[in-house]
Amino acid sequence: MDYTTDNDVKADAVTCTGCSEFIQASSHDGCFPQPRRRQSPTVHPFSRKIAMQTYDSKRTIPGTPIFDGEAARRGYALNKMCFSFNSQANREEFLRDEAAYCRKFGLEEAQIQAVVNRDVLSLLREGGGVYFLGKLASGVLGLDMQDLGALQTGLSKEAFQQKLNESGK
């Protein structure tokens, strides 16, 4: 059984609308397959070179760790662990043996040390996303987002709150 696209190009592989699986048209029953459109690359070689040069450049802000794709990959295990703190049972297991819980998720030694030392700024540098670190900070350490903001800016929590209030006027 072959399906054709509206351009009359033979499509032997389709995406199933019932289960969203990419399948061979003849090997899947019961769902309504949609033909996959084949697109040829239309990128000019010079455009690709320029795009790659732009992509390779890194944005830097002095004193601020940038959470980009590289940081996300580096901090994947850390962020996954922090997300686990949605569960009370996981928070309790973490508090019983923090280092073992970190190793269970495959954290690197620098990340484990930052967790054990409660060094939130190092966790940010190690690829921790602020949303996920918020789960560690609030669920386990008893900190709120203003505590994290104060740590990042080097201010006391009161001075940070005052700065926020002044910027809102």
Residues of the chain with pLDDT under 50: 1-11, 33, 50-51, 53
Nearest 5 degrees, angle CA 132-CA 133-CA 139? Answer: 95
Instruction: Please name every residue paired with 61 in a beta bridge, in sequence order, or none if there are none.
Output: 64
pLDDT for 90 equals 95
Question: Distance of CA 21 to CAs 34, 68, 92, 148, 167, Å?
Answer: 11, 29, 38, 42, 50
> Could you give the maximum distance between any two Cα atoms of the chain, in Å?
70
Say what the pLDDT of residue 7 is. Answer: 46
Q: For residue 64, report the phi and psi dihedrals to the nearest 5 degrees.
A: -120, 120
- Cβ partners under 8 Å of residue 112, min gap 6: 99, 102, 103
Is 3.50.50.60 the CATH classification of the domain at 67-167?
A: no
In the chain, where does the domain assigned CATH 1.10.700.10 lie? 67-167
For 47-68, b where at least 16 C-beta lie within 10 A, e where not — what string? eeeeeeeeeeeeeeeeeebeee
Is pTM beyond 0.85? Reply is no
